[in-house]
Structure 1
Amino acid sequence: MDQNIVKIMSGNAPTPIGPFSHAVKVGNLVFITGQMPTDPKTNEMILGTFAEQTRLVLENLKIILDEVGSDPDHVIQSRVFITNMGHFEEVNQVYRSFFGRDLPARTCIGVTGLAGGADVEIDMIAWIPENQSK
């Protein structure tokens, strides 16, 4: 295994529902696996409104960002997967509040289904500032 590639499993984020790491760090970049609306304390999928699911997904991503020494200001790119594009604005409102004014590059993809019956999943690529790298 290349020592420059670090696979990360967070003890604070929800347990993955599949065979993957929460994130993979390469240099000062971190590739965060798509997070689901799962309560990190109970590992229970919370299937509320699209806004509620988006909020929980972003909270789970923040747990991993914090653990690797990054934050929403250093997110470079994200992909948002939603099961119903009719809720696009509802998802966007919560998403925008997570980042504030300066938004990362993003792709939003309408899908026919997500694992566990979720309606929202988001993955990210983020920069880890030099003074924060763990």
Structure 2
Amino acid sequence: MNVFLKAIEPENAPKALGPYSPAVKLGDFVYLSGQIPLDPKTGEIVGSTIEEQTHQVMKNIQAVLADMGLGLRHIVKTTIFMSDLANFDKLNEVYGSYLEEPYPARSCVQVARLPKDVLVEIECIVIDTLVYEKQLAAQEQGCGGGCSSCEGCC
């Protein structure tokens, strides 16, 4: 048992289909397992096109991150698995609509088959920077951090 590794199992994201966690956190690092276009409530595949499936995958990623108070801006690296790279431009359009610069690093590969025969699966590496963001905000407000006079800013 790894006492430093915390399993993340969000209520509003699809459940794992096997012996793995939807995400694990180790310190500031979060590793999201590959998300496929499953409806979190029904467990059914959402959509039949690459666009529909990519939207659902990105929503599932958002749900896993939201469970930890994080957002898509915390993603530093994605790996995208596609059943057909001919759909690359369509996937890129949807994927890019969810992200802002600086975009995460990314790899994209075509694979022979994905779970439940979906068209796309995306896994992510995330950095939880919330504590550092809070410290930076406190400094910008003139708080040196750790003081008792800064109600809620530190």
TM-score interval (norm. to shorter): over 0.9
Deviation at 1:4, TM superposition (A): 1.5
**Structure-2 residue corresponding to 1:97:** 97
Look up the equivalent residue of 1:56 and give its one-letter code: Q
Tell me if 1:80 matches 2:80.
yes
Deviation at 1:18, TM superposition (A): 1.9
**Structure-2 residue corresponding to 1:67:** 67
Look up the equivalent residue of 1:127 and give its one-letter code: I
Look up the equivalent residue of 1:121 and give its one-letter code: E
Q: In structure 2, what is the Cα distance between the partners aligned to 1:51 and 1:14?
A: 19
Deviation at 1:70, TM superposition (A): 1.6
Q: In structure 2, what is the Cα distance between the partners aligned to 1:129 and 1:100?
A: 17
Q: In structure 2, what is the Cα distance between the partners aligned to 1:120 and 1:45?
A: 11
**Structure-1 residue corresponding to 2:147:** none
Tell me if 1:21 matches 2:21.
yes
- Higher RCO (CA 8 Å, separation ≥ 6 residues): 1
**May I ask how many residue pairs the two structures share in their alignment?**
132
Q: In structure 2, what is the Cα distance between the partners aligned to 1:43 and 1:130?
A: 31
TM-score normalized with structure 1 length = 0.93
Question: Whose Rg is larger?
Answer: 2
Q: In structure 1, what is the Cα distance between the partners aligned to 2:130 and 2:119?
A: 35
Gap regions ≥5 residues in structure 2: 133-154
Q: In structure 2, what is the Cα distance between the partners aligned to 1:130 and 1:51?
A: 31
**Structure-2 residue corresponding to 1:9:** 9
Query: Percent identity over the alignment?
Result: 35
Gap regions ≥5 residues in structure 1: none
